[in-house]
Structure 1
């Protein structure tokens, strides 16, 4: 573990979701402490558990430290930066000369800082001359971008976080905000506690943690959002809830949109039938929307990730345009961004159909403006390939080289096994990453070590258009370099040293800011030219601020987008977009009768390359799971806690069955996070259908026809060890990071395993080791433990049944400096001999409070409110993400004062 000298507190920005929370970081030796930044306008000192646990991820584990090139024998070999970059520049040049500039591509990420993003797009679009550069933001926010551009003429989010506290009605559509944007959700909850008359409506097929806090939950059928909001549009029109002057003078297309909405089924009964929701619930939602002037409609992945995602976005926006509830405090449609810098990527033209500074690739005058400003020899003049199409082109051999930066498409893209096949066929795969071994780096011909969070220097922009600094607070590990530096070095080797002579991130930001004002004159809302001209010192001191920040005029007066009624189509008017409901592309069938939905869990992020390092974050949900309705589980022949195989036309996986009560019949949910580094068979991307929205190119992640069937095993087990062990030889396994240990959940189908021999070999026990062992072959039970210097080093527990000993109890043994004799006996008998504080599965990750501890507090201590639990146990008092779970436990356990607390696995 590297150590660093103690230094003053550094203010930075959290690298997870698009909320963009400010953090304060202190480093002392090998300890990194991260707390919320009290002065940041987004979070005012609060952090969710992922942000609070960031210090656990600033470690060298798994880091890619040096440039590497794969040799003729297929082995990656370390090389110097100069020869590696010479190789990259030469090979790309050769392929371009042989096959044309459209034969190369870049695939980048919303994890990049704006400065990295800017240089990548400048290099590819202005100096390679292709628009074949797309981003994983295509997978999460491109439908919102397309919807904004169709309605407003520019990709503009017209709502700020403060509007959530000004609104009288908040509608959350397709967003488990409590888990995916917890700090924003807690702002909503606190305001609702202050103003109980404020209403919260949640529209989501699942009953999630977010719905637990709602006044009204509409569990609509997947894909029926357009029908719901078209019905709302007709309802508002029928009841005269219209801002007639605004519609007449500030918009176009209302008649056509209303006619389309009426034609698609304006009657309440028709909407209810299409959405699969009781008509009374829909009527109440429509009534609430009609009577509240200050309405914010927040939408996220449940809307965007659809083959009709753009129409869903515009159906929501149409309702705000008809009522004039936009451009005003506490009112408007609000796209909740997924990644930390998806917005910054959009500012610099990160998608393959965009140019930098919100200029348009299909506009000759915009192309000329950008090319002139960049002094580039060419400019891309046609849209590049969107993410799914890009990897299809690699698979077909049309793309000969791809440079992948800060993303893991072998896990995250739909039809991910095709992505594996495509990369295996590609002539040149370059990967820039922080982590050496990912599902994607396995296919790299060239590996380039990138800076990680804490080493990077630059800016990000959050969901409300607030630009914040990410500042370095540790020295780079190994030979890691900034992504903008790598790209600039290749550009210099191609003869463009003058245009890519950047010495630091401040110079790149300055150029980005100047371009935003170039030939603008108010034509584009995105304008940060007022931030141009900062030297490195002023750039380093930059405080969070929202755009626009023009060089001329009152920036503060322009913060409320559309307040002046002016939009960014040529005529200055907004557009109603006609939308018609259409079902998901793939219908369910007898072979695949269930609809697979995918998404995030509370304490993990993307493909776990960062969160997988943090023991705190593994404590809440440790394993990949498939959540389904109890009736569907019975029909499929699977039980809660058992293993099941999920299969679609595109792939299959194995996960633990969970019957949470959250899922409607006919659906199942699998989280997106688990990769080959953390599970043997759980990449849900391999199962997702590759169909995309025809406008945005965003994939249909929320509806893939699937089936579920039992995954039969003959034994179950788990192992804990202070360091990684070769346990991945089992039929099924999941790897979990714990405090001072690594844990494996195991299962297998072999029936005649020599467990004593296998255990000693796997756990590294020599013949004379301090070894504890128990076996009952007739019962299929085995327990083995390796002790070193009276401390437990590793243990393995096997049983024919899934009800194995408490992992929490065994985890506690790894925290002991010395095992007692009762501890040793407990390892043999499979349970503690002395009373232990087995808190059970973690509910509050911020403070490590488990279910058993909370239930005990409810039953034995009379803690019958969330407030009482918080005051006594602290749970729910930091980020608040666990509050919905606390409410469920309160409802289940009130009045059971004498009941025992059940042990947990």
Structure 2
């Protein structure tokens, strides 16, 4: 009997008594445990779970602000067809019918699903089963293709399986930690703090960072290698040869447990040029790194997007693994290669075969035996016999008409994929687009024929797997609002409506998990690494109470999922046909970028934001540190290109362009420019940097090279700049450049334009002025300066500052006054100064988002209170005492004060 979805809705009524729920953070791959408390009035607070083995109570700034992101004002709460509200039955029937019609007319490869590492494992499993098992196409890929596909490919080439060998404990047990292409301090702050604490306890622990930029992570490093873009393969090939020459080789391990060393050494010896040229590093720096690696047995090499997001990303992964195989430094405490994932459940997606070239439970589409096994388990004759289209190729196929119906869930490819304007055009012309979404408005939702309202964090129930293979429960602690439903349920209902009722008759996320666990052990007998069959029989109560556990958890094992036996490969047994690991030749290839555009664009994340800011952008404290898109550029490049500090620059490739703020800093490598990936058309005029990124991909993994696109960097010719604080979000924003962010009590807005503007007219365009509102203004027509503030009942509701150069006012001072108490007439006039006086302290630009501590407050603590260490500042102001990701910035403030004092 078909269920009526609308009968399953839960009323969004606050609980009548306080509840406490253990759940998991929905951000990066660290997988931190969270305790969510819901008060009797419905107010939510969050704290780190001290018993969770990933974080032991710590949360980063993003995790700490989770409660600030739960508002419903911008949520998608009802299904919509062609923009009009519909019932679930209408929407789901339409999706099932259109997919079935497209398949009948054009074949199964004419439809596709594009999912997300934001999925819970149960969501991933059902979507993958529907597409690969019953529709019969491999055309399901996810935004995890942008995150760690090169790691998957590198693992499979070397180990025969996508196996992460080690655990977070290895970072604490190592004597040398090498961080390659990983700004761990900002992107995985809680794991970074575990490393910081261990280095403080044991100063002999050495840290090396390999990154073109001098990031917050490098503050911890004993050695920083500012490598040239694309130089990683050459560096680790050189290390491999150095280890061999120095006799640092585990001969027995190599002879008994590996193959392919001879060919790999031959490839490593054939570099394109000298090592210094290929890496862009000083020979003395290279020698220091090689000597340290050779002399230290307990080495962990942690790598992330700087390695994976490359057109040679898979070779980079294997070049790193080759060095660990040569020395036998794998699978034992404190040693091994360690891929740390960017998304909360990228690992769970890998477990269920969420990528286009995988089958469920770490089985292979290319294997007839694996296909037969999965088909028998799922009781289907439709299992696909070939890989589907990977993310970049998938949207190319949408654009050229090969894919005629696409279902996008929990992600926004219009902003996150390279050549993002092509993705937008593809969705404009696609005959049928379905989007499952939490938010009512994203840059993708205007192109949806059907919008399906998905449950969000706090409402969903299921599991996620972190970077160390630890499965944790994500538990619901809020009712599902409106008509929102979990993603697994939505996919299952479409499967039922397409005629596969028996295969998708799940009653709960627990049902999906049990099937997933059972498949992992089906005809396994130790032949596959992923096995959680020991959890296949958990009943509802046991699933509800499931504690964090690392896989494998095999049926009959006595292990509790903890301890040294959770590492792989210590016994020298791998998952290749002969049980031996493979050395993989990794030739040095020239960096493939547009030579006519001399600067190299690198993209990535900032400390307090996540992906396209649909969640973190709602938390005012998370926009206080960095509130607009920016470009890091070296001072010599800035001078050569005519870029002024805090001015605007146009970053352009042959694919697209973005306009962002210039941050001139010697922390950036010459010839490179860094722009963060987070800004979209919802919060900026032209901050969508992935519209600029070239769509070139790694030929093995299909992962795009998001770290190296040839670009022009051109000063943006603004005739005026502006800054505003606004109580209400403006319905229209004039100006050629703008960036909008949340604040306590409203919004902050950066502006610029090419044509002259009048400040009062501009303010009226931004804010409706009501009768009785009071306006105070200052104008200097000679200097081109205009300042105007608007008060309602004595309270500041808007202020705008316009100048011919970047506006020099205290953002934090104005933000703090927005929507505050009614001001006396003389204080209203003082607002036009744009900064506090003696009676109104100005905390300055925010450094610590967790506790809202600004740079001026830190300087005051240093100058007047003698706080001359990061710990001192923490004791005085609490800054840096929560997630710790601002500690390096606090340290730089202290150093600057020392220099000023001695000078």
Q: Normalised by the size of structure 1, how large is the TM-score?
A: 0.96
Question: Shift of residue 831 of structure 1?
Answer: 4.4
For the residue of structure 2 that corresponds to 1:552, the secondary structure is coil
Partner of residue 666 from structure 2, selected from 661, 670, 677: 661
Q: Helix, strand or coil: the match of 2:433? A: strand
**CA offset at residue 858 of structure 1?**
1.9
CA distance in 2, matches of 1:832, 1:281: 47
Per the TM alignment, residue 178 of structure 1 is displaced from its structure 2 partner at its CA by: 0.6
1:310 is displaced (CA, Å) by 0.3
Match of 1:27 in 2: 38
The answer as to 2:795 corresponding to 1:795 is no
Alpha-carbon distance in 2 for matches of 1:627, 1:637 = 14
Deviation for aligned residue 1:332: 0.3
Query: Are residue 881 (structure 1) and residue 885 (structure 2) matched?
Result: yes
User: Are positions 1:275 and 2:275 aligned together?
Assistant: no
Alpha-carbon deviation of 1:817?
Answer: 2.1
Aligned residue among 25, 30, 51 for 1:14: 25
The answer as to 2:253 corresponding to 1:246 is yes
Q: 2:117 aligns with which of 104, 110, 114?
A: 110
**C-alpha separation in 1, matches of 2:345 and 2:472:** 10
Instruction: Quote the offset at 1:95 in angstroms.
Output: 1.0
Alignment of 1:120-135 (within 5 A): 120-135=127-142
User: Structure 1 residue 761: deviation in Å?
Assistant: 4.6
Who is 2:623 aligned against? 618
Instruction: Give the conservation status (yes or no) of the 8 Å contact 1:860–1:897.
Output: no
Is contact 2:734–2:762 with CA below 8 Å preserved after alignment?
no
Which residue among 578, 581, 594 is the counterpart of 2:588?
A: 581
Q: Which residue of 2 aligns with 1:695?
A: 700
Answering whether residue 267 of structure 2 is matched by residue 260 of structure 1, we say: yes
Partner of 1:212: 219
Give the equivalent residue in structure 1 for 2:653.
648
- The answer to whether 1:740 aligns with 2:745 is yes
| Equivalences for residues 450-469 of structure 1 within 5 A | 450-469=454-473
The Cα of 1:565 is off from its aligned counterpart by 1.3
Distance 1:587 1:220 in 2: 20
Shift, 1:722, TM fit:
1.6
Separation of aligned partners in 2, 1:783 and 1:232? 59
Question: Which residue number corresponds to residue 633 of structure 1?
Answer: 638
Deviations 1:412-447 (A, max 9, x none): 000001001111110001000101110111211110
1:834 CA displacement: 4.9
Instruction: State the Cα deviation string for residues 151-180 of structure 1 (Å, max 9, x = none).
Output: 000000001001111100000000000100
The 5 A counterparts of 1:859-874 are: 859-874=863-878
Contact kept? 1:733, 1:745, Cα under 8 Å:
yes
Q: Say if 1:111 and 1:341, in contact at 8 Å, map to a contact too.
A: yes
Deviation, structure 1 residue 106: 0.5
Deviation at 1:534, TM superposition (A): 1.3
For the pair 1:550 / 2:554, whether they are aligned, the reply is yes
Structure 1 residues 875, 564: closer, same or farther in 2, change over 3 A? same
**Aligned-pair distance for 1:30?**
4.6
Contact 1:599 1:672 in 2 (8 A): yes
**Among residues 406, 411, 418, which one is paired with 2:410 in the alignment?**
406
Find the counterpart in structure 2 of residue 60 from structure 1. Answer: 72
Farther off after superposition, 122-131 or 815-824: 815-824
1:435 aligned to which of 432, 436, 439: 439
Work out whether residues 588 and 595 of structure 1, in 8 Å CA contact, stay in contact via their aligned partners in 2.
Answer: no
Q: Is 1:823–1:832's contact at 8 Å kept on the other side of the alignment?
A: no
Deviation at 1:726, TM superposition (A): 3.0
- Does the 8 Å CA contact 2:744/2:816 hold for their aligned counterparts? no
Give 1:760 shift: 3.1
Q: Deviation at 1:829?
A: 4.7
CA deviation after TM superposition for structure 1 residue 659, in Å: 1.1
Do the aligned residues in 2 keep the contact of 1:148 with 1:154 (CA within 8 Å)?
Answer: yes
Shift of 1:800: 2.4
RMSD (CA atoms): 1.5
1:479-628, aligned counterparts within 5 Å? 479-555=483-559, 556=561, 558-589=565-596, 592-628=597-633
Per-residue deviation, 1:793: 1.8
Contact residue 722 and residue 807 of structure 2 kept, 8 A: no
Q: Residue 482 of structure 2: which of 472, 478, 491 is its match?
A: 478
Contact kept in structure 2, 1:763 and 1:795, CA below 8 Å: no
Matched with 1:894 is: 898
SS at match of 1:495: coil
The CA deviation at 1:837 is 1.9
- Aligned-pair distance for 1:6? 4.1
Evaluate the alpha carbon distance shift between residue 215 and residue 681 of structure 1 in structure 2; reply closer, same or farther with a 3 A threshold: same
1:638-678 per-position Cα deviation (integer Å, ceiling 9, x unaligned): 11100111111111010000012211110000000000011
Note the alpha carbon deviations across 1:49-73, whole angstroms, 9 max, x for none.
Answer: 0000111001113111100011xxx
Provide the rounded CA distance (Å) in 2 between the counterparts of 1:6 and 1:284.
60
Change in Cα spacing, 1:127 to 1:19, as seen in structure 2 (3 Å) is: same
* Contact kept in structure 1, 2:810 and 2:845, CA below 8 Å: no
For 1:719 and 1:3, how far apart are their aligned partners in 2?
36
The equivalent position to 1:50 in structure 2, one of 59, 62, 72, is 62
Quick check: 1:860–1:898 contact (8 Å CA) kept in 2? no
Alignment of 1:419 onto 2:447: no
Deviation readout 1:284-318 (Å, 9 max, x if unpaired) = 11111111111000000000111100000000000
Deviation, structure 1 residue 786: 2.4
Give yes or no for contact 2:812–2:846 (8 Å, CA) kept in 1.
no
Residue of structure 2 aligned with 1:818, choices 802, 818, 822: 822
Residue 175 (str. 1) matches residue 175 (str. 2): no
Q: Check whether the contact 1:859–1:897 (CA below 8 A) recurs between aligned residues.
A: no
SS in 2 for 1:322: helix
- Superposed, 1:128-167 pairs within 5 Å as 128-167=135-174
Task: Output the CA distance in 1 between the equivalents of 2:502 and 2:658.
Answer: 50
| Contact map agreement 1:347 1:356 (CA 8 A) in 2 | yes
Distance in 2 between the 1:645 and 1:859 partners?
A: 39
Report the alpha carbon displacement of residue 754 of structure 1 after superposing the two structures with TM.
4.6
In the aligned structure 1, how far is the partner of 2:829 from the partner of 2:672?
46
Contact 1:858 1:897 in 2 (8 A): no
Deviation at 1:93, TM superposition (A): 1.1
Deviation at 1:767, TM superposition (A): 4.1
Q: Is contact 1:859-1:894 (8 Å) kept?
A: no
The CA distance in 2 between the partners of 1:129 and 1:785, in whole Å, is 62
Change (3 A) 1:95 1:891: same
Gaps of 5+ in 2: 1-11
Look up the SS of the partner of 1:210 in the other structure. helix
Output one character per residue of 1:327-383: Cα deviation in whole Å (capped at 9) or x when no partner: 111110000111000000000001000000000100001000001101123110011
The correspondence for 2:49, drawn from 37, 40, 43, is 37
Q: Please point out which of 808, 812, 833 is paired with 2:812.
A: 808
**Does residue 721 of structure 2 align to residue 710 of structure 1?**
no
**Displacement, 1:276?**
1.0
Are positions 1:315 and 2:319 aligned together?
yes
User: Is the Cα–Cα contact under 8 Å of residues 616 and 622 in structure 2 kept in the other structure?
Assistant: yes
Deviations 1:205-257 (A, max 9, x none): 11111111100111111101111001000011111111111100111111111
Query: Match for residue 5 of structure 2?
Result: none
* 1:345 alignment partner in structure 2: 349
Assess if the C-alpha contact under 8 Å between 1:813 and 1:819 holds in 2: no
Q: Mean Cα displacement is larger for which, 715-724 or 376-385?
A: 715-724
Gaps of 5+ in 1: 71-75, 900-905
The alignment partner of 1:281 has SS state of: helix
Is the contact between residue 304 and residue 341 of structure 2 (CA under 8 Å) also seen in structure 1? yes
C-alpha distance in 2 between matches for 1:224 and 1:208:
18
Would the alpha carbon gap of residues 536 and 178 (structure 1) be closer, same or farther in structure 2, given more than 3 Å must change? Answer: same
The Cα of 1:781 is off from its aligned counterpart by: 2.6
The residue that corresponds to 1:73 in the other structure is none
Q: What do residues 4-30 of structure 1 show as CA deviations (whole Å, max 9, x unaligned)?
A: 544321110000000000010112235
Q: 1:774 to 1:6 in 2, by over 3 A?
A: farther
